[in-house]
Structure 1
Amino acid sequence: MSVVGTFDKARLFTGVSLTALMLCYCISSPAWAGSYPVNSDAALRAAIQTANADGDANATIVMTGNFSISTTALPNPTKPITIDTNGFVLTNTYDPTAGTSRGTLTIQQLAGANVPVTFSGTLVGANAGAAATTAGQIGVAATATKFTNDGSIRGGNGGGGGGAAASGGSGVRVQTGSSLTNNGTIVGGDSTSAGGGAGVAYGNAVGGPNTILNMGTIRGGNGPTNGTAGGGSGILAQGGNAGQIVNSGTIEGGTGAAAIVASNGIINLDIVNSGTIRAGAGQANAITRSLAATTGRLTLELQPGSVIEGNVIAGAVPTTDVLRLGGTGSDSFDISRIGAAAQYQNFDTFEKTGSSTWLLTGVGTATTDWTIYDGTLLVGDHSAPASVIGDITNFGTLGGSGTIFGDVTSSGTVAPGNSIGTLTISGNYTGNGGTLAIESVLGGDASPTDRLVVTGNTAGMTNVKVTNLGGGGAQTVEGIKIVDVGGTSAGSFSLLGDYVFQGDQAVVGGAYAYRLYQNGVSTPADGDWYLRSALTNPATSSAPTAPLYQPGVPLYEAYPQLLLALNGLSTLQQRLGDRYWHGDSAAALAKGPDNVWLRTEGTHASIEPDSSTTVDSYDYNLFKLEGGLDGELYQDKAGRLIGGLTVHYGTISGDIDSLYGNGDIDTTGFGLGATLTWYGDDGLYVDAQSHVTWYDTDLKSDLVDGAMESGNNGFGYALSLETGRRFAASGPWSITPQAQLVYSSVDFDTFNDRFGARVSLDDGDSLLGRLGVALDREETMQRANGQTALAKIYGIANLYGEFLDGTAVDVSGTGFETKNDPVWAGLTLGGSYTWNDDRYSLYGEVAAKSSLKDFGDSYALSGTAGLRVKW
């Protein structure tokens, strides 16, 4: 859109109106414009007529000198025309016989047009004569148009001849559905003998409501100093449906005048303020409504940043005036400033709108019934307690730490405390499906918490949303009181928890979970509402029940046990198959000096811990894939020393069963290892292993959607020392007593779970011993091609013993320990087949073991298979 009516760096005196200048409709068009230089009144008129007749979409008239024009109407433009004063002065001769048009720049839109008009520069309305009894004239009259001021506009000064008619002119008059956007300065004219002019005269909205958007300064003119008349108002709204004033700048009255005056005949006037509205010096009122304005409504919306210096006087009748707190951001309002003798007078309706947060401070003395439509209204906080007299209807958020002397009906959110505090309703409370938002440091009975106190009765239904402010949880007895009811407790409060436990909503605090209960334990008829971390509701305070733990705790408690299971080391037999070659006791190495091998291992286990805080049992399935390369490091007459390097990959998936909630743990690990084995010629062997493993784990509970923790990193290492000696028995049989000691240690990164609970490992070590006896039978076969093959079967009886005290984790300061049965027994059956003179070997075994305490309740079934190749 083109911009019409731009006056740069000029000082325009006197009358340019539609008797002087009409700037009209604006259309989209190519950037083609004729340019017409002018230096006289006649040239200006001719230029407008020529521009109307040419084929260009726009026209620009550029002044090349100072000149004056008469009050005879200029030709009407039929296209967008810009008049550029080019630094010169356009003037008009003051004509006292020209009526209201003298000395006024009138901007009027043609029928059906929608013309934005922008002014920049300096414009002063025509002044009355020094001894005249007539008024100074309006600087700009905007009629049925959109006018933007980026410069400075001033109304003409009144005459000095005395009389009420010798007042200053308005800076701008807005009428007939116009809009004014002010980014600059608009000032009413002064008068030394009558009243000052208004900064903006506003009304006669026949074509629709007028709108003023002020981001600059609007100020009334000053009156005489002798006190016979006052200054002009910043904005004078009069005549019809005046519309809306939106102020983020400054509006102020002249000396002795109000900033905004709603005069006779006003139907509705809306004022939205985030700037400054200031009464003129010597005037007590910043905004007033005429006593004679008995119809319509004044609505004042205060937005954050609003400053009003002076009183705001709404209409005494009718009772429809609205005081509203709105906007975005946050601010505070002193409720004691409302009242018959206070700053804000005669308002009938009080509203909170917009997304803003408003804090009410002070002590209310007038009845103010509030309706919260949107955003947050806080009645006091810790530093500024407050009280409100009146009922509150809430569709947004009502909060704070003050007192409401009235009834509250809520379909929105009630949030006591504004971060730990008490909101008191000295009346009745009715919930209409809204929410009570409670912040609490979840712990024991004395936990810091928000609380809603209702001295009267409760009714209806309210949801309760609890936010834990870093509480680590604790076992409660009475519970944490969040609603205190003084009257009849007929309202229903339903917890919106983090998960559902046994049909009830529960909220998590650290390691604990809390459910909502009505009535106290020691005061079973008090009607109050409590959060309790009890597995069952206690009958008396002297007989507390077991605590209720959150659903992640059994997973965290079992987590290091599963890591240790995956972190374990195999036996030499499982890793390589045969330990010896031939049927005698010579330590001929089965692998040879250069061997590569690959094996897999699978285990299914079901464990019922010997002791555990929250884990009833768990099952897991384990898979490992391991490979290695071995080579001879040393040999003498006593035997050989073989060294090796290994790589491994493994997974374990555990199903955890618990009263507090079942879940799954899935871990993947990969790592490296090294081996060192001595094979003695006397049948003795000593095998040392070590490996390190990096883990990645997901933990999921069946009671919540999504993971409790995803991608948690862990690390483990293990060391093993195994020894045994083979003794020949009858024929192909041999017996090998053996012993093994495995130290394993795991750790995982401390993490915060989905509920904010801090989970860390306290103890993740194991020292497992094994004593076993192997019975072997070997058969050597000679093939037709001269190659030798060896078939072997064996059985091993093992006794296992755990020397340490299990694992332990910490969940937000609460410890949890699990210890499995320490003594197990197992039986292994296996075999191997080696051919092509020990070049290739297949081997495998199956094993079963069980704890000796409550035999069969905890057990593990496993199998392994491998291939070894020598080159």
Structure 2
Amino acid sequence: MLNHQIESRQCLGMQVPLACAIGLSLLSLAAPAFAGTVSNGANVSVSPGDPVENWSVITGGRLTLLPGSETSQISVVGSASAVSSNGALIRRTSGTGTNAGVQLSEGATAELRSSRIESTNNGVYTVGLPNVPGSTLRLIDSEVSAVRSGIQANGGADVLIDGSRVFASGSSGASFFGVGLASVSADTVITNGSYVGGQVNGIWLMLDATAPGGGAILAKSSVTVDGSTVEGLTGPAILIRAAAGQRLDGKVMLVNGATLRGGNGNIIEVRESPGTGSGHTVADITIDDSRLTGNIFIENASEASLRLTNNAILNGIITGPADTTVVNGASWNLTGDSSIGDLTLGSGGTVKLGDGTAFNTLNVNGDFVGQGGTFVFNTVFGDDSSPSDKVVIAGNSSGTGNIVVNNINGTGAQTGEGIQLISVAGSSDASFVMPGRATAGIYEYLLYKGGVANPNDGAWYLRSTYTGDPCDLNPSLPICAPTDPGTPTDPGTPVTPVDPIDPGGPTAPIPLLRPEPGAYLANQAAAVHMFQQRRHDRGEPAFEHDGAGAWARVGRDQMHTTIAGQVDTRTHTNVLQIGSDLYRWGQGGRGQIGLMLATGEAETQATSRITGYGTRGKVKGDAVGLYGTWVQSAEDSSGLYVDGWLQYGRYDNRVQGNNLPRETYDATTRAASVEAGYGWAFANSDRGIWYLQPQAQVTYTDYKGDTLQEVNGTVVEDDRAGGFESRVGVRLFGHDNASGNRVQPFLAVNWLYTERGDAMRFDGERLDARLPTNRYEAQAGAQLRLGQRWSAWGDLRVQRGDSGYKDAGAQLGLRRAW
């Protein structure tokens, strides 16, 4: 029989509002007649086939349920009393006796293995009474199915749920109905793939037991969910709320892949006690190495601390005064606007403000402390009015942090004030850097502290304009490498200062270009010019009267130019071209037609003069073509010559900027050229002869490149390339009249004119390479006749033009007659 002396022994004259009231309400039920009572240290076993009875275990008794056995409700009282089961069924269906399948009180112990508890009320109930030891429950590989609560743990109980399933199906508004685990001042560990669920809540942490008159806390409610699942079908997975007039310090640990599911979208709710009493809820929540999806709600009058650590991930909204810490590889991914208390963003911690489908605002209603963590923003890279995620700090900011900004379909534009990312109402002492890059269209965006109108506003902006030394903003930029200051020298005698010069008005900010467009334009120019040639690039026509032959040449060019005054490009081009005469005709005047093949490669390094960011471009091309030449005099170099060629080229291109993915695309060229020259002999003597040969050439190139969309969303397409180019020059050359081998040196100067400059579009905005329309070239080299069938040639040339354009090249060629 239940010992009703508990009432007078423990609660007489005490004012314990809830804990004692719950215990007394249970013990004051009509006392059931227990069919079996185990007492005074006795050991009793229940075997399969024994009658299904109620059991009472008291005064050190021990009850053992053997595999296959079945009982009704069981009551265990006293720290020396225990019940254990292995493969048994405990079914509580009547309304009399205990209010649970298993009820524990006064330090009793229950160990239930591979067993099942079915109850129309509570599954397991531990009675909580002041100044009485808490009971112990071990639920291992078992199942609890109840209506009210699966497990209600009171009075400092110690609960282990190991590899088990607990579910409460009740849905009425009564307290604890439909709650998988109701923890009223208990410590619970849920581990090893367990499931705790309820029609309303998975877990409800309710209160701390307090001494009469609101004295010291006797116990705290804590739950550890270790690699297990907690679910509330219609409410939050975990509810933390004190009872009326009580203070609750609830602690929740979610570790090793814990899972929470809340039917109302909230995985955790922290709420104040109902009514107007002095109740208060304080929650301490840790998410460790677990991936959770859902929202966390903290009522404004409550207190909460939330810590994400050890690669934990939270996908959801946090609302309420939660002092939040994100460290050690953890990530909080916002799914909507959120509002918290203080925020500490530690090393390896990340706050992602959204997924780019909407733009969210994180309100930090306290202070921000950066310890090397990272904010990830989603922003439309455009002008000042562009939408963006934002962080609003109501207090102070301190420490250090990183900012990563993702472009959401922005096409780039010039900013003024900039796109605000972070605002700080208090002291703005935090320092942020942007270790990655922010690019769109032709623009590079940099991170700035302070507005243009008010540089001291403490806010952080994204701007596509250059308004100062970028190293002041981000010392990690490539251009900001520290330099050795060298040995200090004697400053000498001080100089009397002069009056300062009025600097005038502020300089207007200039657009900040990224280097990648420079690489695209350099690739375009390299493809257009890679396989262009002149008649003498295939050898000296006067050396070819011996008959048809085959030839080969190798060439290298190095070009340097500046795009829009900001991006330096250096391109190195290597070419191998081979050809063979297919048909020849004529004796005095001679003509020939041939086939040629070519392969080449160009590599470009484009570097921003402002940021130091670099980009590599590469072009690999192949070409096939036909050439034809007619010379008036087949025996010497005098008279008229006419040359022409047709060629088709195909190119594989790539561009890769610093910290950006590689971009690849294809291009083709169709080119044609006509060239003519006339040689006049002068200074003819027995020893040798010199010629002066004016030349003119017109080349047309039709370039077509693929349109591509970069990983950052920028659409890159051709605007114009190739077109007509012309060359007008004069060539001075001569040779001796000795028989046998012949060396024919030459000098040439040329004026090259381009009809139009190369240009491309980036998200519709046109950028011109601004290669000079007029270029000037000097060339020197020699042709060599080596016996009757072999000839060779080589030359060096240098070009110059406006805007710092420089081009230097060299080639070597060899021909053999059949």
TM-score with structure 1 length normalisation? Answer: 0.66
Conserved in 2, the CA contact under 8 Å of 1:676 and 1:689?
A: yes
SS in 1 for 2:49: strand
Q: Deviations along 1:423-481, whole A, 9 cap, x unmatched?
A: 22344444444433332212211111122223343344443333332323322211112
Secondary structure of residue in 2 paired with 1:353:
strand
Counterpart amino acid of residue 698 in structure 2: L
Q: Which residue of structure 1 aligns with residue 554 of structure 2?
A: 600
Contact 2:240/2:250 (8 A) holds in 1: no
The 1:498–1:567 alpha-carbon spacing in structure 2 relative to 1, beyond 3 Å, is farther
Answer yes or no: is 1:627 the counterpart of 2:550. no
* Conserved? CA contact 1:124–1:156, under 8 Å: no
CA–CA distance in 2 between the matches of 1:263 and 1:613? 70
Q: Does 1:106 align with 2:41?
A: no
The residue aligned with 1:388 is 320
**Deviation per residue, 1:678-735 (Å, 9 max, x gap):** 345695433221223333455566xx36x76366544334322122345555565555
Cα shift at 1:516: 2.9
Match of 1:720 in 2: 673
Equivalence for 1:277: 198
1:761-788 deviation digits (Å, cap 9, x = unpaired)? 3222142212344455455666xxxxxx
Q: Which residue of 1 aligns with 2:273?
A: 340
Q: How far apart are residue 825 of structure 1 and its match? A: 4.0
| CA distance 1:124–1:472, shift in 2 (3 Å) | same
- 2:535 maps to 572
Q: Please name the residue that 1:218 is paired with.
A: 145
**Match of 1:694, as an amino acid?**
R
C-alpha distance in 2, partners of 1:143/1:750? 78
2:647 corresponds in structure 1 to 691
Give the counterpart letter for 1:125 in structure 2. E
- The letter for the 2-side match of 1:438 is F
Residue in structure 1 matching 2:792, options 835, 843, 849: 843
The residue matched to 1:685 in structure 2 has which SS? strand
Aligned to 1:647: 597
Match of 1:805 in 2: 756
Compared with structure 1, are the counterparts of its residues 825 and 324 closer, same or farther at alpha carbon in structure 2 (3 Å cutoff)?
closer
Letter matched to residue 269 of structure 1: T
Q: Deviations over 1:176-206 (max 9, x none)?
A: 5746467xx6313xxxxxxx67534679999
Give the letter aligned to residue 652 of structure 1: A
Name stretches of at least 5 consecutive residues in structure 1 with no aligned partner.
Answer: 1-13, 23-70, 75-89, 108-118, 128-134, 189-195, 221-231, 381-385, 500-506, 582-588, 783-788
Give runs of aligned pairs for residues 335-374 of structure 1, distance below 5 A: 338-341=271-274, 347-354=281-288, 355-357=290-292, 359-360=294-295, 364-374=299-309
Question: Any conservation in 2 of the 1:295–1:318 contact (CA below 8 Å)?
Answer: no
CA 736–145 in structure 1, closer or farther in 2 if over 3 Å, else same: farther
* Cα pair 1:125 1:171 within 8 Å, conserved: no
Contact 2:135 2:157 in 1 (8 A): yes
Call closer, same or farther: CA 1:667–1:171 in 2, change over 3 Å: same
Taking the TM superposition and a 5 Å limit, the aligned residue runs for 1:84-483 are 91-92=49-50, 106-107=65-66, 125-126=70-71, 153-155=89-91, 165=97, 170=102, 178=111, 180=113, 186-188=117-119, 198-200=122-124, 210-212=137-139, 218-219=145-146, 234-237=150-153, 241-245=157-161, 250-252=167-169, 258=177, 267-270=186-189, 276-278=197-199, 295-299=218-222, 305-307=231-233, 319-322=248-251, 327-328=258-259, 332-333=265-266, 338-341=271-274, 347-354=281-288, 355-357=290-292, 359-360=294-295, 364-374=299-309, 375=312, 380=317, 387-389=319-321, 391-395=323-327, 399=334, 402=337, 404=339, 406-411=341-346, 412-416=349-353, 419=356, 420-483=359-422
- TM-score w.r.t. length of structure 2: 0.70
Which deviations, in whole Å up to 9, do the C-alpha atoms of 1:57-76 show, x marking residues without a partner? xxxxxxxxxxxxxx9899xx
Question: Which is higher, the Rg of structure 1 or of structure 2?
Answer: 1
Gap change, CA 1:671 and 1:235, over 3 Å in 2: same
User: Which residue type is aligned with residue 526 of structure 2?
Assistant: L
Relative to structure 1, the CA distance from residue 471 to residue 790 in structure 2 (aligned partners, 3 Å threshold; closer, same or farther) is same
Is the 8 Å Cα contact of residues 791 and 834 (structure 1) preserved in structure 2? yes
- Secondary structure of 1:574's partner? helix
Q: Is the 8 A contact 2:123 2:144 kept in 1?
A: no
**Which of the residues 486, 492, 504 maps onto 2:430?**
492
1:175–1:203 CA contact under 8 A, matched in 2: no
CA distance in 2, matches of 1:470, 1:756: 6
Cα distance between partner residues in 2 of 1:625 and 1:770: 23
**306-315 or 469-478: bigger deviation:** 306-315
Work out the CA distance in 1 between the residues paired with 2:795 and 2:110. Answer: 94
- Provide the aligned C-alpha RMSD in A: 5.1
Task: State the alpha-carbon separation in 2 of the partners of residues 681 and 527 from structure 1.
Answer: 80
Aligned to 1:560: 524
Letter in 2 for 1:250: F
Once the two structures are TM-superposed, the CA of residue 572 in structure 1 deviates from its matched residue by: 1.9
Contact 1:600 1:625 in 2 (8 A): yes
Q: How far 1:805 sits from its partner (Å)? A: 1.9
Counterparts of residues 646-795 of structure 1 (less than 5 Å): 646-656=596-606, 658-660=608-610, 661=612, 664-680=616-632, 683-697=639-653, 699=655, 704=658, 709=662, 713-726=666-679, 730=684, 732-751=689-708, 757-777=714-734, 789=740, 791=742, 793=744, 795=746
Q: CA deviation at 1:314?
A: 5.1
CA contact (8 A) 1:443 1:475 kept: yes
SS in 2 for 1:562: helix
Q: Quick one: distance in 2 between partners of 1:264 and 1:430? A: 34
